Structures are given as structure tokens and as C-alpha cells.
Chain A
Amino acid sequence: MDEKYYKSIHRIGRIGLIIGIAFMLGIPAVTCTVFNVWPKSVAEVMTVGAGLLAVFIPTATAEVFAYTPVLGSSAYITFLTGNVSNLKLPVVINAQTLTDTTQGTDEGDTIAAIGVAVSSIVTTLIIVAGVILMVPLKPVLTSPAVQTATTYLLPSLFGGIFLSYMSEDCGEYIAKNKPLTIVIPTLLVFAVNAFYPLSGKEGFAVIACMALNVVCAYALYKAGIIKMIPKASLKKDAAKAAK
């Protein structure tokens, strides 16, 4: 990976996050000052916020460690603009699949950054449009049919994106039978979820599945079931066949 770009994109991401945090705290601070509505004490904020922090710190920790290996340098914008699992992760997977690139490579990381940046701009602009057109749009978008359809956004999304995961592309290699890796982890998630509902704990489930994937893929590779074929050799073979 290009060291100069790598350092620079992370620096931009960190600066962006720090400014983002400044806005998240600065907007309430200015509002409180202008309208004289400061909380009575820090303790009041912490007492009310403690419950939320107790729930969200473990979840956020799991999500950061689960999703960053997939998101790469696009993780900064992703975690600042939110909607990680329902929007940014599918965008990255879809863009990488369509461009035959993989995370962990310079190309895959660049495509992820482009995809997430574009996606965040589009979402932000659509929300702006929603604010401007709130009066005429509200009756349409809050109709029972639209409400029902949006309830099923995630099953529709994961049903559709499932086939993208069947790709055998693995950066500079084609990993024959790589999709077999998902069998055991998926069955385990089905089994665990039947007895111990995992809803709301997806971040933890992703980390566990990542560890299982590494074990399963290694076992399948050692057993000769997954075969790694360099793309360069495939191209040579294709060129020979063409001659």
C-alpha cells in the first residue's frame, strides 16, 4: 500500500472526526449559551447518559473492531455519518465486487473510500431535500404502505447482497471454493440465534464469525478444497488459449 497516501487518508479521517466531535458537542454548547438552557450539572448529564453509555460502549467497541477490517480507511466517514450495517457496509461490498477489488489491498481500500464518500454525500443531500420538502413529502412517506416496505429494508438488502459474497475474487488471486467458508459460521449463527437471540448484538456476532472464517478458510485451504490461483497465471492461460 502507498505509504504516503495511507498516512494522508488516515490523517484526513482523524481531523474530520475531531471536527465532527467538535460539532456534536459545540452545537448543544452554543444553543445552551444562546438560550440559557445549560444542564444543571455535569452529573445530571452523566446520570441520564450512563444508561445509554452502558448499552452503547460495548456495542460500539464490537462494531469498530468488526467493521473496520472491511471498511479500511473509509471507517472514519462511515462511523461519523452512521448507518453502518444498512448502508455503508453494503456500499463497500457492492463497489468492491463490481470493480473486482478486495479490502486489504490499495485498490480495494481506495474503492471503499470513494464508495463511502459518495454514499454519505448522497444521503446528506437526500436528508436536506427531506427537510426542505417536509410538508409535501410527509403524507406520502408516512403512508402505511411505505412504512411496511421500509420495515423490510434489511432482509431485502441482505437477500440481495448475498450473491456478492459468493465471489471467488481474492485480490491478486482467485480463491476457488472460497464461498464454502461461510457454511459453518452461518449454521452456527442460526443455531445460537435459535436459543440466544443475537438481535442487537450483531457486532459481537461479526467478530466471532471473522475468527471462525479464518479457522474454516485455513482448514479448507490445507485440505486442498480452497485453491488459490494467481490471476496473472489465469491471464497467461487465456492468452495462450487465444493464440
Chain B
Amino acid sequence: MSFNEIMNSVTLYALVGAGILFILIFCGVTFIKAYRHGIEIGLTKDQLRTAIVSSAVYTIVPSISIVIGLFSLSAVIGVPWSWFRLSVVGAVTYELMAADMAATGAGYESIAALNAAGDPSVIGTIMFVMSIGIMAGIILILFFGKRIQAGVVSARNKHGVVGALLTGVLSLAIIEAFLPLQMMKGPVYLAVVCTSCVITLIQMFIVKKFKIHWYRNFIMAVTLLLGMMSSLIWVQILG
């Protein structure tokens, strides 16, 4: 069998299907556990619904960009393995890089050249390299996840008001590290950042003015969509 035939085989589809089913079960079990606990500790149904709806709605647009990655990746390593890789840990840039390194290690110019040659002998190497190369984060979280969270909770509990403040400012680091990098990538990036910020402000004003609190769940998703669409105009003006 050729490279493409194995990488698009029914066997691989079945194995990947089982893997995807497991991901859904794992998420479902965690969700039920957390939801029940939320009720127990006094979170209101409204708060829980807000968390569910806002997360689901916000996720749609970035997920479509993952599907676009699936199309590019499946052209070189077949559909099922691309499907699994992009559902578990991977991002398309990493997956292409890993597959390419495995192909060049086997003496081919690129993963595309390997695909064209149809050589199945390096399939095992490619699949294992792609899995092992990105496993570090998962293994670390397995050993340190609980300890890190325990550290944050204990710092918060032990140090009273100061502990609440100092653990409360940790998440600000995400925006401090990511926003400047995006703003400095070029004028179109900067314009998109500013546009998204203004779009959010307008929506927050509308929510307040017309008291449509249900709409708060959609602010992030609408901002993301309109911000990305604005890039088409900014590319024409500044690109």
C-alpha cells in the first residue's frame, strides 16, 4: 500500500474515531463534575449558563481556523491523522514542521515530496515523531498541574487580602505578553487590535444602554469575527 492509502485507510479512521470519542467523553465527564460542583458551591444557574453559552459561542470562530489548518495538513499526511493531531494538542504549524522534519530525516526534500513519492516506510517514524515531539507539556502537567494550582490556592488563602490581590493579578500576564507582540507585528495588526477594542467598547455601551445583558455572552465572538473581517479593509489601506 502507498503512503496515501495507509494514511487514509479505514483502520486509521477507526483508530482516530476512537481517540476523538475518548476526548469527547473526557470533556463530558469533566463538564458534568464541574457543573454539579458549581451548583453545590452556590453558583447560580445563570452564572453556569453564561459560562457555557459564552464559551461555546466564542469557540466557533477560532475552531473554523483549525478546520482550515486541517485542509492544508490533510493534503500531505492524509485526513484521519491530521484530524487526530489537530484535535489533540497540535497546531497546524507544529504538525507540518514535525512531519517535514521526519520526511527530510528520511532523505526526502519535504513532506510534500514524500507524499508524492508514496513511500510508506517512514509512516511509523512520522507518526511517532509528531506524537512524542509535542508530549512534553502533557507530561509536565501530569506531574505538576496539581502542585501549581495548590501553590496559587495556598498563596491566596495564607496571605489574606494581599494573597487575593497577588494571585488575582497573575492572569494579567497573558495580555501583557501577547498584546504588545501582536501590536508590533505591523500596521495591519495594530489596526486590527484597535478595531477590535473599539468594537468591544461599542457593544459594551449597547449592552449597558439597552440593558440587553444576554448579549454579553456574544461580545467576544462578534468582536473576533468583525475584527478579522476588518483586516480585509486594513490590508487594502495599510498592507
Contacts and interface: CB of A to CB of B under 8 A. Distances in A.
A155 B193 contact: yes
Interface residues of A, number: 158
A111 to B, nearest CB: 5
Interface string B186-214: 00111011111101110010000000000
Given A104-B153, A160-B196, A10 B170 contact: no
B65 A153 contact: yes
A145 B232 contact: yes
B113 interface: no
Contacts of A103: 152, 167, 170-171
Contacts of A120: 23, 27
Please report whether the interface of chain B is mostly helix, strand, loop or mixed according to DSSP.
helix
B19 interface: yes
B140 interface: yes
B148 interface: yes
Contacts, number: 534
Contacts of A194: 184
14 contacts: A10-B146, A19-B26, A39-B122, A68-B149, A89-B174, A109-B149, A115-B52, A137-B67, A150-B65, A155-B227, A156-B193, A160-B196, A202-B177, A202-B181
Interface of B: 1, 6, 9, 11-12, 15-16, 18-20, 22-24, 26-31, 33-35, 37-38, 40-41, 43, 47-48, 50-52, 54-56, 58-68, 70-72, 74, 79, 81, 83-84, 86-91, 94, 97-98, 101-102, 105-106, 120-125, 127-129, 131-142, 144-146, 148-149, 151-153, 155-156, 161-162, 164-185, 188-190, 192-197, 199-201, 204, 216-217, 219-220, 223-224, 227-232, 235
